[in-house]
Amino acid sequence: MGQLLSKGVVPVGVVGIILLLIVPIPTGLLDVLIVLNICISLLILLTAMFVKKPLDFSVFPSILLVATLFRLGLNVASTRLILSQAHAGQVIQAFGQITVSGSLVIGAVIFLILTVIQFVVVTKGAERVAEVGARFTLDAMPGKQMAIDADLNAGLITDAEARARRAEVAAEADFYGAMDGASKFVKGDAIAGIVIVVINFFGGIVIGMSTHGMDMNEALKTYSLLTIGDGLVTQIPALLMAVSTGIIVTRENAEAELGHAAGRQLMQSRNALLITGVAAIAMGLIPGMPILAFFAIGAVLLFAASRVKAHQARLAAADAHAQELEAAEAAADGPDDLMDRMRVHALEISLSPDIVDLAAGGSGDLLTRVKSLRRKIALEIGIMMPPVRTRDNIELPKETYAILIAGVEAGRGIVPRGHVLAIGTGLEELPGTAVADPVFGLEGKWVPTEMSHAADMAGATVIDRASVIVTHLSDIVQAQAYRLLSLEDVRLLTEHLKQTNAAAVEELTPAVLSFAGIQRVLAGLLVERVPINDLGRIYEALALRAKVSTDTAGLIEAARGALGPAIAARFARGGRLRVVMFDPMLEQQMLEGMRVSDGGAQIVLSPQTTMQVLEGVRRTVDELDRSGPEPVLVCAPSLRQAVRNLVAAQVVGLPVLSYDEAAAGGFATDVVGVVRLGPTALTSVESTHIPS
């Protein structure tokens, strides 16, 4: 039935109401429509009484507008028939005769009383309550939003519960704002009804005497009856709608419908019922009072008071039981539960409140893509990416997201609503904000979603908001993977490897190397973005090296040696490596200045020489980055780790390979740069082989 109404009946009905204002209708059809109007008003009133909270009847403002328009259409149709035919159907005739009851004065007084009740009492009160309710709801909205954010940050509610509560707060504000306007429909309808009654009465008398040949008494009697009848069939539904409006705007969120809640709350005080019952019996003793009526009502109230006493005893027992359960729950809220709440999430995405729609659910939303990213990270670098917690953060600027690792911000960006990121050239003619891609630093522009096709036609790469965040997250995870690798991850990886390569695991751990030692080695590989998915080969190399020394630096180099072909293959393009080397004299000087300590290998040179080396590496790499694929810096195996430590801060992300690693894959090498003291010399590209 609801689907039928939503698909066709309501729109057709509204069109019919418009026609009702223009096209005359027969009296039989008018009778049917008047009865339908009364039934609809009664249905709306009962629905307003039985809903538990106003938002359960959120369509009420729209229904009120349509019902008011329908009632005014019936007024116009009935007025047309009254003035033209001196007859407006059986319903209006019957209402008029019942109300008049043989006395025109009595009928007029009853009609005026109903009009005063509907307009002065119910309509004015509902209008004022709706106005105050809308004002208070809108004023309280920021506080409610902050309370939801506070509960979410405290871990009292989940992200889904927070989204549901925010949606309810927004819907509540929209509803009371709509009710404030809808109450004006009720007031205007009451005024229009009074005006139409006056027109029917005086206009009917004039038309009856001038057109229908009636005398003054006949015209007065006829049109008074029709006017009162028409006014009643209008004012009664209007009164029902006004009462419905008052009930809706005065109701608060409750656990039960109005009748049940009213009965429960009126019966909550035994003393109030007892005193009222005694007072009723006492008033019945006054001479001239109907003693039987007062005694009957007083007896019912005293019986209700006795029932309330028994009910209060049951409630007290239930409260005592609830307190016992709360005490048991509080006792269960021990250190384990508190420790779980104190836990810092390994990965977290914070969203400003205006872009939380990205995590609203669906096949292409942020959460779904993060799940896909976990599989991609596992296949690419060999670690199990921890679950990502997504939450909103009111402290973030508008349209901003932040990515946190272990509670510390690792990156942030902007993803405007209703826009997509276009990366490329030819975007000058498109509207939007120019930005730099947060991962690769490429020039781009946030363009409106409807302009995505135009950006694509201009040759740009179009990326949606969720993909921007996931790409940024992927880059941060790969760069910070060493921070995400926990001892538990190492244990799980080891147990999984044991199923396929038990010999390597048994040879290495726990007798030779602990999980903590293995974690330090794997983290050292991940620092330089070396994948650890070939775990069997890594463990075999570590087992051999650990029998000689368990020095972490040596173990890392041993693992890299086992992964040499895979490391070189990551940087080869078309079977060739573009390499930058040190001048042999400089390399010899660096070998002589190398020192090994607990903190790792370091190259000790004079400050001036160190600055020249760093500047030479930086200039060489910057110029080569613009001329082709990413180059790698190669050096002697004993120098590799010390060189990497030296240049890591100056040239972020520069791969440093040893001669052995560069030669392990059998790739041809193009020496595209040589770092010397003084001005850096770029060599012409020449094919050669790295010495082993």
What residues contact residue 184 under an 8 Å CB cut-off, 6+ apart?
Answer: 127
Q: Report residue 70's pLDDT band, with 50, 70 and 90 as the boundaries.
A: confident
Instruction: Compute the distance between CA of residue 341 and CA of residue 332 in angstroms, rounded to an integer.
Output: 14
In the chain, how many H helices and how many E strands? Answer: 28, 15
Instruction: Compute the distance between CA of residue 490 and CA of residue 482 in angstroms, rounded to an integer.
Output: 12
At which residue do the structure tokens 């009111």 appear?
394
Q: Is the dihedral of CA 438, 440, 443, 447 positive or negative?
A: negative
Q: Report residue 617's pLDDT band, with 50, 70 and 90 as the boundaries.
A: confident
At residue 682, does pLDDT exceed 50?
no
With pLDDT > 70 as the criterion, what percentage of the chain qualifies? 69
Furthest-apart CA atoms within the chain: distance in Å: 131
Count the neighbouring beta carbons within 10 Å of the beta carbon of residue 81: 20
Treating both helix axes as pointing N-terminal to C-terminal, what angle do 216-250 and 104-116 enclose, rounded to 10 degrees? Answer: 20
Helix (H) / strand (E) containing 410? strand 408-414
* CATH assignment, 572-688: 3.40.50.12790
Distances (CA, A) of 286 to 115, 293, 602: 36, 13, 110
At residue 434, does pLDDT exceed 50?
yes
**Confidence (pLDDT) at 596:** 79
**Confidence (pLDDT) at 592:** 86
pLDDT digit string, tens, across residues 210-241: 666 676 677 767 766 777 777 777 777 777 77
Spatial contact of 410 and 483, defined as CB atoms under 8 Å apart = no
Distances (CA, A) of 679 to 155, 215, 433, 683: 58, 121, 41, 13
* 364 or 479, higher pLDDT: 479
Q: Report residue 687's pLDDT band, with 50, 70 and 90 as the boundaries.
A: very low
Alpha helix ranges (H) inside 21-59: 27-50
At residue 564, does pLDDT exceed 70?
yes
Spatial contact of 277 and 299, defined as CB atoms under 8 Å apart = yes
Spatial contact of 30 and 88, defined as CB atoms under 8 Å apart = yes
**Confidence (pLDDT) at 390:** 83
**Confidence (pLDDT) at 123:** 64
Spatial contact of 68 and 189, defined as CB atoms under 8 Å apart = yes
Tokens of 159: 């992200």
* 18 or 583, higher pLDDT: 583
Instruction: Compute the distance between CA of residue 614 and CA of residue 601 in angstroms, rounded to an integer.
Output: 17
pLDDT digit string, tens, across residues 669-678: 888 888 887 6
Instruction: Compute the distance between CA of residue 83 and CA of residue 441 in angstroms, rounded to an integer.
Output: 79
pLDDT digit string, tens, across residues 172-201: 766 666 666 666 666 666 666 667 767 666
pLDDT digit string, tens, across residues 124-151: 666 666 666 666 666 666 666 776 776 6
Q: Report residue 684's pLDDT band, with 50, 70 and 90 as the boundaries.
A: very low
What residues contact residue 325 under an 8 Å CB cut-off, 6+ apart?
Answer: none
pLDDT digit string, tens, across residues 279-308: 777 877 777 777 787 778 778 777 777 776
At residue 418, does pLDDT exceed 60?
yes
CB crowding 200-212: b at 16 or more within 10 Å, else e: bbebbbebbbeee
* 520 or 105, higher pLDDT: 520
| CA proximity to 486, closest of 533, 513, 518, 511 | 518
Spatial contact of 226 and 96, defined as CB atoms under 8 Å apart = yes
Looking at domain 485-562, its CATH architecture is Orthogonal Bundle (1.10)
At residue 321, does pLDDT exceed 60?
yes
**Confidence (pLDDT) at 629:** 75
**Confidence (pLDDT) at 685:** 40
pLDDT digit string, tens, across residues 374-383: 888 888 888 8
pLDDT digit string, tens, across residues 74-111: 777 777 777 766 677 777 777 666 665 656 666 667 66
Q: Is the dihedral of CA 176, 179, 181, 183 positive or negative?
A: negative
* 653 or 661, higher pLDDT: 661
Find the mean pLDDT for residues 429-455: 77
In 460-501, which ranges are E strands?
A: 461-463
Three-state DSSP state, 216: helix
**Which of 161-170, 474-483, 647-656 comes out lowest in average pLDDT?**
161-170
**Which of 264-268, 401-405, 545-549, 575-579 comes out lowest in average pLDDT?**
264-268
* 679 or 134, higher pLDDT: 134
At residue 442, does pLDDT exceed 80?
no
What residues contact residue 390 under an 8 Å CB cut-off, 6+ apart?
Answer: 159, 348, 349, 351, 359, 366, 367, 370
Find the mean pLDDT for residues 660-664: 86
Instruction: Compute the distance between CA of residue 129 and CA of residue 251 in angstroms, rounded to an integer.
Output: 10
**Confidence (pLDDT) at 363:** 43
Beta bridge partners of 582: 675
Instruction: Compute the distance between CA of residue 571 and CA of residue 553 in angstroms, rounded to an integer.
Output: 23
Distances (CA, A) of 510 to 505, 513, 518, 520, 550: 9, 6, 10, 15, 13
pLDDT digit string, tens, across residues 2-22: 454 455 566 776 777 777 667
At residue 549, does pLDDT exceed 80?
yes
* 665 or 382, higher pLDDT: 382
At which residue do the structure tokens 């209703």 appear?
418
Looking at domain 347-482, its CATH architecture is 3-Layer(aba) Sandwich (3.40)
**Confidence (pLDDT) at 601:** 78
Tokens of 267: 């019966």
Domains of the chain, by residue range, sit at: 13-125+187-263, 267-320, 347-482, 485-562, 572-688
Q: Report residue 613's pLDDT band, with 50, 70 and 90 as the boundaries.
A: confident
* 290 or 261, higher pLDDT: 290
At residue 439, does pLDDT exceed 70?
yes
Q: Report residue 689's pLDDT band, with 50, 70 and 90 as the boundaries.
A: very low
Angle at CA of residue 167, ends 469 and 390, nearest 5° = 30
Domains 485-562 and 572-688 share a fold: no
At which residue do the structure tokens 């927004």 appear?
170
Q: pTM for the full model?
A: 0.50
pLDDT digit string, tens, across residues 600-612: 778 888 888 888 8
